[in-house]
Amino acid sequence: MSETFLGMPSFPAFPVAARAAVQDGTLRGNLRHATHTIRAKRAKAVAELPDWAELREAGRRIKDHTLRHLDRYLVQVEEAVTAAGGTVHWAADATEANRIVAGLVRATGESEVVKVKSMATQEIGLNEALEAEGIRAYETDLAELIVQLGRDRPSHILVPAIHRNRGEIRDVFRSEMGRWGRAAPDGLTDEPADLAEAARLHLREKFLRARVGVSGANFVVAETGTLVVVESEGNGRMCLTLPETLISVVGIEKIVPTWRDLEVFLQTLPRSSTAERMNPYTSMWTGTTDAETADGPREFHLVLLDNGRTDTLADEVGRQALRCIRCSACLNVCPVYERAGGHAYGSVYPGPIGAILSPQLRGTASAVDASLPYASSLCGACYEVCPVAIDIPEVLVHLRERVAEGGRATREGSTVVLRPARGHAVERAAMRAARWALTRPAALRTGQRIAGRARRLQPRSLPGPGRAWSASRDLPAVPAEPFRDWWRRIYGAGGTAAARPGPGGDTGKDTR
């Protein structure tokens, strides 16, 4: 079977890609400006709700409960959507999902589709798959348009063109819009309002003639079969209501059990993602409407996508990543993302959530996926802001263990035993040595004394295989005297700290 595909070919390991990214002054400036702008606004929007903690907990519990009974809720979604006039398709992987969508588009006789921004369709590389079938997919979200016109890659979940500043966007519009349709107006400035107007004019033509729309969904309500798309610009409404046929590709983790559950996420998602009390537009639809109402598409298809999600679900620690509602707050607070940018993560899911999602959806076989669990300082800011309380640091550590130690995992529905990854032999050897030494006090003491006496010979970086580790880290300084020797000298064997000088009062000692 094919490898689970997340929309991109093979990428270099995170440290390699990040090293190049941090040298790019423009990129760092753009990212710093954008992430700091949204951080402060988000904090304010969240602080407005005195019950934020309770909403966050409810969101976590709703998602956890749904995941724990996902088989039941999937069947319920299928029944409800079918009863409301929709057609449900099941796609085990990206290839199958793309084949289903291409077939549905071909059946309409159309050769172009308009698209609402959707992570699931990016994940499966739908645009490229449709192109291969002679179907042109037009991205209609402003940031997606910028990425598509610039033949670029998305670098952020919410704002895929976050790595571009207004001047760069103007240049892309000026040079590329004409190739795809209506050209940019003469004298286009880099004012955001002018750029938005240029996008409005460019896409208007495509919306008005579109016969097929393709979307994802933020939520699917199991009890009613209702799909929910949350957006800002109105491009979503255009794609969801004007075409005759609508195809929605939705990950199986997007389900919530009841209509009422939306009351939690419609409060937490907008505030956490764009820092708004409510996003400008939210569309909710249930199947199709009857001939008399005639509101929106006459044909509706829901494609339920697995593509590695059930493998993720099989991991009791890692499955919490499937709670994600794609708000991107974790990207915006992450010190690593802010400096490295989204492209270094080698996936449509960048940032902290990407570092735990991609290696679970795709497995840890590739260089980039094996490196992603390490693309973090474990500072925990991502967990703090997560509106569904995903403990990202916990999953990162769990995945590091899987990469370094190997062990059981689920791939495409089957249990496999992973071998320890190459390149972690030194780490494993160091851990084994530490375990040996830390369980033998006498050996540890001797080793520490020798290291203390030889500390002037300490190198600035490690030699041989340890060089990779010390390339991005300072080696900790070795003290002249081990702590336990110091304690014994000051307090004597079995002594207590009462009325004794602390280390600060112990003058003349070189603590370097």
Partner 1 sequence: MSSRDRILGRVRRALADVPRDDTPYEQAVPRTYLRRHGDTDAGRTVALLAARLADYRADVHRTDPAGLPELVARLLAARGADSVVVPAGLDPGWLAAAAATAVPDRPESTPRELDRIDSVVTGCAVAVAETGTLVLDGGPGQGRRRITLVPDHHVCVVRVPAQVVSSVPEALERLDPARPLTWISGPSATSDIELDRVEGVHGPRALDVVLLADGDGPPPEPAA
Restricted to residues 24-83, the positions that interact with partner 1 (CB under 8 A) are 30, 33-35, 37-38, 48-51, 54-55, 57-58, 61-62, 64-65, 68-71, 74-75, 78
Q: DSSP for 19-52?
A: HHHHT-HHHHHHHHHHHHHHHHHHHHHHHT-TTH
- Min dist CB 140 to partner 1, Å, is 8
Cα atoms in the 13 Å half-sphere on the side-chain side of 308 = 22
Sort strands 219-221 and 255-256 into parallel, antiparallel or unpaired: parallel
- Min dist CB 133 to partner 1, Å, is 20
Map residues 400-429 to x or -, x wherever contact with partner 1 holds by CB under 8 A. Answer: ----------x--x----------------
Stretch that binds partner 1, among 106-114, 197-205, 433-441, 491-499 (CB under 8 A): 197-205
- Min dist CB 171 to partner 1, Å, is 13
Our CB check for partner 1 shows the closer of 147 and 421 to be 147
Three-state secondary structure readout of 302-346: EEEECCCHHHHHCCCCHHHHHHCCCCCHHHHHCHHHHHHCCHHHC
Show Cβ contacts of residue 237 under 8 Å, excluding neighbours closer than 6 positions. Answer: 231, 281, 283
Which of 128, 197, 401, 506 is close enough to bind partner 1 by CB under 8 A? 197
d(CA 292, CA 372): 52
Our CB check for partner 1 shows the closer of 309 and 343 to be 309
Residues from 320 through 379 that contact partner 1 (CB under 8 A)? none
Map residues 177-196 to x or -, x wherever contact with partner 1 holds by CB under 8 A. Answer: ---------------xx-xx
Residues from 93 through 112 that contact partner 1 (CB under 8 A)? 96
- Min dist CB 74 to partner 1, Å, is 7
Our CB check for partner 1 shows the closer of 323 and 424 to be 323
- Min dist CB 175 to partner 1, Å, is 17
- Min dist CB 247 to partner 1, Å, is 16
Our CB check for partner 1 shows the closer of 209 and 435 to be 209
Stretch that binds partner 1, among 174-182, 228-236, 453-461, 476-484 (CB under 8 A): 228-236
Residues from 286 through 325 that contact partner 1 (CB under 8 A)? 286, 289, 293-296, 304, 306, 310-311, 313-314, 316, 319
Our CB check for partner 1 shows the closer of 386 and 404 to be 386
Say if CB 55 and CB 265 are below 8 A apart.
no
Say if CB 165 and CB 253 are below 8 A apart.
no
**Lookup: tokens for 325:** 């509602």
Stretch that binds partner 1, among 231-239, 442-450, 482-490, 504-512 (CB under 8 A): 231-239
Other Cβ atoms less than 10 A from the Cβ of 222: the count is: 25
- Min dist CB 395 to partner 1, Å, is 16
d(CA 245, CA 214): 9
Instruction: Give residue for tokens 């509101």.
Output: 295
**Total number of residues that touch partner 1 (CB under 8 A):** 104
DSSP class of residue 244 equals S
Our CB check for partner 1 shows the closer of 69 and 136 to be 69
Say if CB 31 and CB 363 are below 8 A apart.
no
Q: Residue 160 phi/psi, 5° resolution?
A: -60, -20
Residues from 233 through 292 that contact partner 1 (CB under 8 A)? 233-235, 237-238, 241-242, 252, 257-264, 266-267, 270, 274, 276-286, 289
Q: Of all helices (H) and strands (E), which one includes residue 266?
A: helix 262-273
Stretch that binds partner 1, among 11-19, 121-129, 164-172, 434-442 (CB under 8 A): 164-172
Say if CB 149 and CB 202 are below 8 A apart.
no
Q: Output the CA–CA distances (angstroms, integers) from residue 159 to 149, 268, 460, in the order listed.
A: 15, 18, 41
Q: DSSP for 207-227?
A: HHH--EEEE--SEEETTTTEE
- Min dist CB 243 to partner 1, Å, is 9
Our CB check for partner 1 shows the closer of 257 and 420 to be 257
From its phi and psi, is residue 109 left (phi > 0), alpha (psi between -120 and 50) or beta? left
**Lookup: tokens for 316:** 């009791």
Q: Comparing C-alpha atoms, which of 125, 68, 69 is closest to residue 102?
A: 125
Residues from 132 through 151 that contact partner 1 (CB under 8 A)? 140-143, 146
- Min dist CB 1 to partner 1, Å, is 11
Residues from 204 through 223 that contact partner 1 (CB under 8 A)? 204, 207-209, 221
Stretch that binds partner 1, among 153-161, 424-432, 451-459, 499-507 (CB under 8 A): 153-161
Our CB check for partner 1 shows the closer of 413 and 465 to be 413
- Min dist CB 471 to partner 1, Å, is 33
**Lookup: tokens for 423:** 């390149």
Our CB check for partner 1 shows the closer of 306 and 427 to be 306
Our CB check for partner 1 shows the closer of 359 and 482 to be 359
Our CB check for partner 1 shows the closer of 108 and 241 to be 241
Q: Of all helices (H) and strands (E), which one includes residue 184?
A: none
Classify 489 as helix, strand or coil.
helix
Residues from 442 through 481 that contact partner 1 (CB under 8 A)? none
Three-state secondary structure readout of 384-426: HHCCCCCCHHHHHHHHHHHHHHCEEEEECCEEEEECCCCCCHH
d(CA 65, CA 85): 28
- Min dist CB 139 to partner 1, Å, is 12
